[in-house]
Structure 1
Amino acid sequence: MQGIRGAITVENDNREEIIEAVKKLLINILEANDITAEDIGAALFSATKDLSSVFPAFAARQLPNWDLVPLFDAQQLYVENSMKKCIRVLLLVNTDKTQKEIKHIYLGRASQLRPDIAKA
């Protein structure tokens, strides 16, 4: 089992915008790592305190075959001057890939969270 991280930002605390952002993030992670929803043991989401329109897990449930994936939502720890309107995810995935082969995905302003990965 490996962990795959990702994050995305939105411009507004808007239900539709958040749903589309989460779906985009998850699709990118699945495609980049050649995995399917059936490979996922669990998905843990966090959102910054300025996002309250919809649970990220609800957005994930809109994707095909995500109905059986165990999902969990939490509020991201608030740290002064930290990134705003950010949704993060940790996927626990059944895979034979090594940690070096895993591709973590950071989209939008969230790419600033891991500049080491953005450069790779």
Structure 2
Amino acid sequence: MPSKFLKVMFAIVKIAGQQFKVQEGQSLYVPHIAGKSGDKVEFSDILLVNADGKLSAGKDASATVKAEIVNDLVKGNKVIAFKMKRRKGFRKKHGHRTQYTQIKIESIA
């Protein structure tokens, strides 16, 4: 009987304090990491690995994810924090743009 589920290798990786589900060939935006375009990076903080339909998590998940930096600095949308108290003359405006890095996953081993 054929399996309903595709056996695609994926991993859950912790990058800069955030968790990402990654597959080979996938391109994604992660919080800014040091490096220039074309540099190779390696992530060893793996939380879960699915290899050939077999899940391994925690200490059993021993793998490394290798990626290449595609675009070293991508700015996110502007976020404005505006505070105001009516009739008091109080206005405060703060804003920022979060910086991201675009990476492409090369291999999960």
TM range (shorter): under 0.3
More helix by percentage = 1
Higher-RCO chain (CA-CA 8 Å, sequence separation at least 6): 1
Highest Rg: 1 or 2? 2
More strand by percentage = 2
Under a length normalisation based on structure 1, what TM-score does the superposition of the two structures give?
A: 0.24
